[in-house]
Chains A and B, each alone.
Chain A
Amino acid sequence: MKVAGIELKNPTILASGIMGTTGAALARMGRNGAGAVVTKSIGPVPKKGHNNPSMVELECGYINAMGLPNPSYLGFCEEIGIAKSKTDAPLIASIFGGNAAEFTEVAKRLLSSKPDCFELNVSCPHAEGYGASVGTDPDLVHEITTSVVDAVDVPVWVKLTPNVTDITSIGRAAESAGASAIVAINTVRGMAIDIHSGYPILGNRFGGLSGPAVKPVAVKCVYDLYEVLDVPVIGVGGITCWEDAIEMMLAGASAVEIGSAVHDDTQIFEKISKGIDTYLQKYGYSKAEDIAGLSHEMI
C-alpha cells in the first residue's frame, strides 16, 4: 500500500525510539512484520541522553525521558545501511535539531544512506531546546519543514506533539510547508513520583506518557487533524492490538505506528496487520485506505 509517498508493506509501522538505535534492531522489527520502520531520532551531535531511570512501566502505560540519545548522523549512516540491507521494510529516518538549519544539515548528511522518508521530530516533550520546544510554534514548524522538504528528494513526514492547545494549527503549518504526512501523536507530557522517597522517578524528573493511557488522546488528535488536512495522517499512541489500530484508522489514520506495545510482544506487527486484514475482509473492504476517516461520515 502506498501512503504519503512510500510503499508500506502493511499499515503497521515501528514508531521512533523503539528498537531504533541500531540497524540490526530495526531490521529485526522489519523481519517481525513491521510495514516500515522509523529510526531513533538522530541529531546534529552525539548525545548521551538523560540519566536513568529513563523508562518506567506505570499502571496505565509507560513514562519515559530518554533525552534523545543518539550517535549523530556521523555514526548513524552505517546503521541505516545495515537496516536497509537486512530488511525490505521501508526505512524512515527520524531527525531532530534546534532550528531549521540543524534539521536540514542532519537530513542532508543522512541522505547518502538512502532513507525512504524523513520524519521530523518536532514533538519530544522532554529535551530542552529540541522537540516540542520548536513543535509548539506553527511558524517554526513551517520554517523547519520547508527547509527540509527543499533539501531532500524523499517524502517528509512531521510528527506532532499533543501538548498544545490546537494541534490542527501545527498540522496545517506542516502541510502547507510541503509535508507528505502528519504523524500524531508523540508522548503526552507527564510525571510519576515515588511516594516512599518523594523523588520524581525519571532521571529528568518529568517525561512523556505512552501506552494505553494515551490512546483516546491520540484518537481525538487524529480525528481533528483528518478534518482539516488533505495529506494522510499516521496515527500513533497506545496501540496494542488490532482493534486499537482499526479505531485509529476510523478516526482518520491511513497507517499506524506502534511503540510501547513492543514491550509485551516483539511480534506485535504481524499480529496487528493480520487482525486488520481479517477486519477488512469481514466488513467487505478491499483495502486499508477504505476505512481511513470513516467515522467522520457517521453522523
Chain B
Amino acid sequence: MRPIHSKITEIVEESPNVRTFFFDTQFDEAIPGQFVMVWVHGTDEVPMTLSGKNSITVQKVGDATSRMFELGIGDHMGLRGPFGRGFTIPRNGENVLFIAGGVGAAPIAPLADIVKMRGIEAHAILGARCCDEILFRERFACGRVDITTDDGSEGRSGFVTDQLTETDTSNINRIYVCGPEIMMYKVFEILKARNVHVKTEFSLHRYFKCGIGVCGACSMDPEGLRVCRDGPVFNGGELEGSEFGHYERDSSGRKCRF
C-alpha cells in the first residue's frame, strides 16, 4: 500500500517529551499492538504502534519525531498499516496484568480500553522516570493500578520490577509488557523464574528498514524472526534464548549491546 495522506486533527501533550497525534485516518481493523509506518515528508519514516484507532503517541527521540513535534493541527503525515502481529485479546473472566514503562504504555493502552469495555478485571503496573511521565493512567484504571517512579515523585520509588516482585502472578491468565528493552528483559527474567513467561506478551522495538517483512533488517537471532512482521508482539516462550535483552542491530546491521 502507498502511504495514506493523513491530516492531524488533534495533538495532546501527554508530557514534556510525549505527544499524541490524532488523524483523520481511522484504522478500525487494527489489533492492539499493531503498528503503522509514519512518514514525515522530507525527513524519514518510522514505525509507531497505534495508541488508538486513529492515534500514535510519540516520544521525541530523533530526527523524524523532532520534526513531528514541529507539526500542528491541519498538517499531514503519510501512514501505512496496520502492520505486524498484535497482542492476543483477553477473554471474559480472565485475569490480566499490564506492565508498562514510560511511553511503552502507548501500545498497551488500546488493550486496556477493550478490557475496560468488557468489564474484565485488570491490574496495571505503570512505571516512569517521574510523575509527569506516567501515561494514560485513566485508560488503565480498570482495576488496581500501581505506579512506580524512578525519582519517587509518585507511587513507589523504584522500578516496575520492584512492584512485580511483590505481585502474585499465579492466577493471572495473560500478562502484557511494553517498555525499554532492559526493563522488559528484567520482567521476562522474573516471570520466567515463575514459569509464567509463556503467558506473557512483549512488544518489541527494532530498527525497521522496509517495515513489511522483506529486507530482514529487523530479524532477531537465532531464528530469524522479523520484528516487523512476525512481531512486534512476541510470546515470552518465543523469546527464550534469543537476542532479546542482549543486543539489537543498528541501521547498517551491526550489533549493539544493550
Contacts and interface: CB of A to CB of B under 8 A. Distances in A.
B253 A18 contact: no
A299 B2 CA distance: 43
Interface centre among A21, A47, A64, A259 (most CB of B within 10 A): A21
Interface string B30-57: 0000000101011111100000000000
Interface stretch (A90-98, A111-119, A125-133, A192-200): A192-200
Interface of A is mostly: loop
Contact of B220 (A24, A55, A57, A266): A24
A280 interface: no
Interface string B212-253: 111111011111101000000000000000000000011111
Q: How large is the interface on A (under 10, 10 to 19, 20 to 34, 35 or more residues)?
A: 35 or more
Interface residues of B, number: 39
B67 to A, nearest CB: 12
Given A28-B224, A53-B3, A70 B44 contact: no
A46 B39 contact: no
A69 B221 contact: no
B80 A22 contact: no
A52 B214 contact: no
Contacts of B123: none
B76 interface: yes
A51 B212 contact: no
Contacts of B213: 262-263, 266
B215 A52 contact: no
Contact of A71 (B211, B219, B253): B253
A216 interface: no
Interface string A236-263: 0000000000000000000000011011
Interface of A: 17-29, 40, 46-49, 51-58, 62, 64, 66, 69-72, 75-76, 82, 86, 192, 194, 196-197, 199, 201, 203, 259-260, 262-263, 266
